[in-house]
Amino acid sequence: MLLKKILTVIITLNLVMICSCYPLGKEERQRTAEKADDKDKDIVIALVETSANENLFKEGALLAIDELNQKGGILVERKIIPLIYDDQGKADIGQKIAREIAHNLDVIAVIGHRFSSVAIPVSITYEKEGILFISTGSTNPMLTAHKNQYIFRNIPNDKDIGEALAKLAKRQGFKKILVIFERGDYGKRLSDFFKEKAIKQGMTIFQTRSYFNKERDFRALIEDAQSAQIDAIFLAGFLPQAAEVIKQTRTMGVHAPFIGGDSLENPDLWDKAEMDAIGTYVASVFDPEYSKKSKAFVKRFKEKYKKPPDAKAAQGYDAVNLLAWAIENNRTTVPIEIATALRYMKRWENVVGPYRFKKNGDITSRTIHIKVLSPGGEFKKNQR
């Protein structure tokens, strides 16, 4: 009899542990969301920054939340309450955060997750649990390759960025290009898209070379280019290694301009490479001079943080305001209803530009701006 009681206690404890380790499911979250939608309670969202990649995403998102709350909130004075996390650019930490968020039935949406290697696996959890997810950094087409209901991104994917950079190379008259990428999904994917479009436009790929992110000596990648008279170097990688590639290239006497994706649009490029990086072209989704809204945002951001906003700050700011707009205009905080509103929205415009989504959650009709690093470390819009 005693043994039976002990076994019963053990089984009960195991069930409790299992229930505490796994999210509660989309159906329960849906019922909770619908009940909460009618209550006078604050609106909770999660902001997930990535400290492994220095940027101002969190500052931009919090500025938007502060402004909305100061105006009285949304849906009859309901404040937005942010829960802030850091996935550190690691998939396992991202998954831990996603599970924690899934257990919190007050959270209706998640904004952030910089890297695709994190955003894609956590998107599976958010989709399964019925949580709206807007990625401000994942450019991998696989994020939206499935028929998801809750997954969006407010940044163009690598295919669009690669095509825009190939068009830049064509406009600049570059004919022979060395391609260098950091080994991994991002570097390989972006360089492949760039090469495909560049070759179609009549350019020649001199060589394709790659490196691991833990490498420190990159001179072997450049050696053949010393006497090849290349016109440009396409570099798909992350800082700080990308900055070191640029510095070592200059020490070897190769002065062809670099072309890079949005990963190089970072103040750290100037901090780490300085004069060697002048003239580097980068793809960007944010032009501070785009509109009156953009200019006003830059002014308010500088007043609050004493520094200019970067593209990730603008995307974080817009993502929060986009979510607030969908909630306010559809009078609901139920995630599936917000997601449906976003998917079928006609047009909304804010500091980054116009917003409209494809059925799969990809942003469409988004201008990709080309900037060039100028003396002094400022990225300025390329005029050609």
pLDDT at 16 over 50: no
Same domain for 175 and 203? yes
Q: What is the pLDDT of residue 267?
A: 83
Q: What is the pLDDT of residue 336?
A: 94
Number of domains in the chain: 2
Same domain for 187 and 242? yes
295 part of a folded domain: yes
Residue partners of 110: CB distance under 8 A and separation at least 6: 45, 46, 47, 48, 98, 101, 122, 126, 131, 132, 133, 134
Cβ atoms of residues 319 and 308 within 8 Å: no
111-131 per-position pLDDT tens digit = 999 999 999 999 999 999 999
Q: What is the pLDDT of residue 118?
A: 97
133-171 per-position pLDDT tens digit = 999 999 999 999 988 999 999 999 999 999 999 999 999
pLDDT at 177 over 50: yes
Same domain for 150 and 41? yes
| Alpha carbon distance 284, 311 (integer Å) | 7
Instruction: Give ∠ CA 292-63-149 in degrees, rounded to 5.
Output: 90
State mean pLDDT over 171-177: 97
Same domain for 134 and 238? no
Q: What is the pLDDT of residue 158?
A: 94
* 77: confidence class by pLDDT, cuts 50, 70, 90: confident
322-359 per-position pLDDT tens digit = 999 999 999 999 999 999 999 999 888 999 999 999 99
State mean pLDDT over 264-276: 90
322 part of a folded domain: yes
Same domain for 50 and 149? yes
Same domain for 95 and 40? yes
67-76 per-position pLDDT tens digit = 999 999 898 7
Which of residues 284, 317, 337 is at a domain's end?
A: 284
Which of residues 261, 284, 307 is at a domain's end?
A: 284
Collect contacts of 89-92 with beta carbons under 8 A, ≥24 apart.
89/50, 89/51, 89/52, 89/53, 89/114, 89/115, 89/117, 89/118, 90/52, 90/118, 91/117, 91/118, 91/121
| Alpha carbon distance 178, 70 (integer Å) | 51
Residues spanned by the domain of 188: 159-284
375 part of a folded domain: no
* 2: confidence class by pLDDT, cuts 50, 70, 90: very low
Same domain for 201 and 83? no
pLDDT at 23 over 70: no
pLDDT at 178 over 70: yes
- Kindly report which listed range (74-78, 148-152, 220-224, 269-273) carries the lowest average pLDDT score: 74-78
73 part of a folded domain: yes
Same domain for 29 and 152? yes
pLDDT at 18 over 90: no
Q: What is the pLDDT of residue 20?
A: 42
pTM more than 0.75: yes
Closest Cα partner for 143 from 113, 182, 104, 165?
113
376 part of a folded domain: no
pLDDT at 34 over 80: no
State mean pLDDT over 38-47: 84
pLDDT at 265 over 80: yes
Say how many residues make up the chain.
384
- CATH number of the domain that residue 244 is part of: 3.40.50.2300
State mean pLDDT over 296-320: 96
Same domain for 177 and 272? yes
Same domain for 252 and 337? no
Same domain for 23 and 150? yes
Q: Is the peptide bond before 156 cis (omega within 30 degrees of 0)?
A: no
Q: What is the DSSP letter of 357?
A: B
**Strand pairing report for 151-153 and 107-112:** unpaired
Same domain for 325 and 359? yes
11 part of a folded domain: no
